[in-house]
Amino acid sequence: QMTQSPSSLSASVGDRVTFTCRASQYISTFLHWYQQRPGKAPRLLIYAASSLQSGVPSRFSGSGSGTDFTLTISSLQPEDSATYYCQQSFSTPFTFGPGTKVDV
Amino acid sequence: QVQLVESGGGVVQPGKSLRLSCAASGFAFGAYGVHWVRQAPGKGLEWVALVSHDGSNKYYSDSVKGRFSISRDNSKNMVYLQMRSLRPEDTAVFHCARDVGTATTGQGYGMDVWGQGTTVTVSS
């Protein structure tokens, strides 16, 4: 089971925002973050807890290991309005968190 | 360019079957695991199934185990999802997605390429 908090947030351009994701059991660093804009396919932002996917802006960063993880956007931009999901791939069945909806 | 394109969705009655296809192009298809992920209307993402790079290992969510079957044909750069005994709660957009790794160990390394999805509606 994956949990995410908050479920939604509203912030301003330039703000620093942090989301959290918690696993119900140990998952090492098999934790990935995705961004999904309305009507679009998800996009991988961070893999293996802290590795930035190629082409993703450097304002996105991830940290954590074990059961507790965070995604940080250092300076929020208008195009960051989206829902953010964490996903564990330590063991099957793989699971996604319920998501954090961000309104900029 | 690197892409995945799903097809095969549609409207189907409860209890019937449907097969989804995922066509890959622009990369060394046989080197990567491939997932199916679905999203019910207005809901979050749900992982459905994973096939390893060579098709030898397959994994399923509890909600579809025994009803869905994932397979691949590396000679055609295709992945399939055979769905049987469909239920209204299977209604969703189904995406195929490439794993960063081979998926031979039952662990994944992130899904870095996604298709736009194909819609499955299960209704009488």
Residue B104: what pLDDT?
Answer: 84
Using CB atoms, pick whichever of B44, B59, B106 lies closest to residue A96: B44
Minimal Cα distance from A32: which residue of B? B110
Residue B102 confidence (pLDDT) above 90: no
Task: Please tell me chain A's helix, strand, coil percentages from 3-state DSSP, rounded to the nearest 5.
Answer: 5, 50, 45
pLDDT tens column, A27-52: 999 999 999 999 999 999 999 999 99
Mean pLDDT confidence for B13-37: 97
A29 and chain B in contact, CB less than 8 A: no
For A61, half-sphere exposure in the C-beta direction (CA atoms, 13 angstrom radius) is 8
Which residues on B lie below 8 Å from A42 (Cβ)?
A: 37, 45, 95, 97, 111, 114
Minimal Cα distance from B64: which residue of A? A93
Q: Which of A2, A92, A101 to mutate to test the interface with B (most CBs of B within 10 A)?
A: A92
Residue B77: what pLDDT?
Answer: 97
Q: A79 — phi, psi (to 5°)? A: -75, -5
